[in-house]
């Protein structure tokens, strides 16, 4: 086995077909990190001139010439092959010394326990032995941290698409409430459109509102531009938009249809030919009409003269056989229109019949992770899938003395 630096093309060829492929371990991600002024390194192990393990690492400057390394969702390696794992990290430690790296934070993407849709452990298998072995060779586990490490956390939600081939199959795989919400978006004529600089600016506005509501820092317009530049067509922004005139036309058509039906039924009442069922139907129509007029007033108040409402936006990245919903923002005033449902439905429908076999909802949190607010998880759960628990961060110390000084300095601050 040979430990060596890899070029980006050979790494990307390896990563795209790897069982643990992830967009953060890719050539486009290397380009994005460089746009963020990060030093990027790709290390790998070759055997018989074939790559058998590899990882994308970035260096973050901390003080003077010293750096901290990061490897997110990697390296891509057979974690059950202890000889290979030991060889990789022993050589990685030596290689990082020449880059003035004091330690390297590793966030691998193997699962700890298999979990079901509710986040409950299912089955007796686990990967605790991998965590134990990494600790023994000096790659120290930092504990089961449920905070938003790497801006995401260690809990994810995935949906398997391998058995889905038709839209009805996909719809049937959702829970009842999610199916109803999607049908509602279709009835309301929501449009889902993608990309364009104008939409990117609108998306940032949504993200800023979401960040303020959920108390996190948004990355800003320049980051999203860099993301699009690095990933190209593999990164797409989708916006759910409501055309006010089309929406009102739909409501007015319903009102007209109900009034026509009511007139026929009322004629029976006037002629004393109406049954109890007919009278009950008139009562139901009146309630529906009241609701529709209420909707017209509501949309006039919400739109305030605007021709369209921007309901929600999501950025997706397609890499290998996986589609990842990376960033999403909503305007809370328009939650009732289910914009995010419309976007996910559009993207998932387009996945059918392609090489995409997995949908990654990305980070999530619920009772399984100690979260009090599980609304984000319940939304994702409605589409079907399962919770995935990863172990979190590990640290490989490269320069013991400088690492000790760095940790002391952090505690003093």
pLDDT surpassing 70 at residue 413: no
Cβ–Cβ under 8 Å, residues 173 and 164: yes
Task: Tell me how far CA of residue 100 lies from CA of 4, 219, 408, in angstroms.
Answer: 18, 28, 18
Per-residue pLDDT of 59-76, as tens digits, reads 999 989 999 999 999 999
Percent of the chain scoring above 70 in pLDDT: 100
The pLDDT tens digits of the residues spanning 127-169 come to 999 999 999 999 999 999 998 888 789 999 999 999 899 999 9
- Top-level CATH class of 156-244+307-389? alpha beta
The mean pLDDT value for 333-346 works out to 96
Q: What is the DSSP string of 368-410?
A: GGT-S--HHHHHHHTT--EEEE----EEEES-HHHHHHHHHHH
Tens digit of each residue's pLDDT (9 = 90 or more) over 85-118: 999 999 999 999 999 999 999 999 999 999 999 9
- What is 2-145+391-412's CATH number? 3.40.630.30
Mean pLDDT of 226-244: 96
């Amino acid at each position: 086995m040979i430990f060596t630096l890899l070029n980006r093309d050979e790494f990307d060829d390896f990563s795209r077909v790897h069982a643990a492929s992830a967009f953060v371990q890719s050539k486009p991600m290397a380009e994005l990190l460089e746009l963020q002024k990060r030093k990027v390194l790709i290390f790998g192990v070759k055997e018989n001139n074939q790559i058998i393990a590899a990882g994308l690492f970035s260096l973050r400057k901390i003080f003077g010439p010293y750096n901290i390394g990061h490897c997110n969702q990697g390296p891509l390696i057979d974690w059950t092959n202890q000889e290979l794992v030991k060889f990789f990290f022993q050589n990685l430690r030596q290689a990082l010394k020449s880059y003035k790296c004091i330690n390297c934070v590793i966030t691998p993407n193997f699962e700890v326990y298999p979990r079901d849709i509710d986040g409950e452990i299912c089955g007796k298998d686990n990967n605790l032995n991998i965590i134990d072995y990494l600790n023994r060779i000096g790659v120290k586990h930092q504990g089961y941290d449920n905070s938003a490490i790497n801006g995401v956390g260690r809990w994810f939600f995935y949906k398997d698409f391998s058995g889905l081939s038709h839209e009805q199959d996909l719809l049937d795989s959702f829970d009842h409430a999610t199916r109803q919400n999607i049908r509602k978006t279709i009835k309301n004529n929501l449009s889902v459109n993608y990309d364009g600089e104008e939409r990117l600016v609108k998306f940032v506005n949504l993200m800023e509102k979401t960040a303020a509501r959920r108390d996190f820092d948004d990355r800003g317009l320049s980051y999203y531009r860099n993301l699009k530049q690095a990933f190209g067509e593999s990164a797409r922004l989708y916006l759910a938009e409501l055309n006010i005139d089309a929406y009102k036309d739909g409501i007015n058509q319903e009102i007209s249809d109900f009034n026509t039906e009511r007139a026929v039924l009322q004629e029976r009442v006037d002629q004393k030919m109406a049954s109890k069922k007919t009278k009950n139907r008139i009562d139901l129509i009146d309630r529906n009409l009241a609701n529709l007029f209420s909707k017209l007033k509501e949309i006039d108040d919400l739109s305030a003269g605007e021709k369209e409402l921007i309901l929600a936006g999501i950025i997706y990245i397609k890499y290998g056989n996986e589609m990842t919903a990376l960033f999403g923002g909503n305007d809370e005033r328009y939650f009732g229109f289910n914009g995010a449902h419309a976007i996910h439905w559009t993207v998932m429908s387009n996945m059918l019949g392609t090489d995409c076999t997995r949908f990654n909802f990305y980070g999530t949190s619920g009772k399984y992770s100690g979260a009090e607010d599980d609304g984000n998880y319940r939304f994702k759960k409605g589409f079907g899938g399962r919770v995935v628990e990863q172990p979190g961060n590990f640290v490989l110390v490269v320069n013991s003395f400088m690492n000790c000084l760095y940790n002391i300095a952090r505690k003093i601050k």
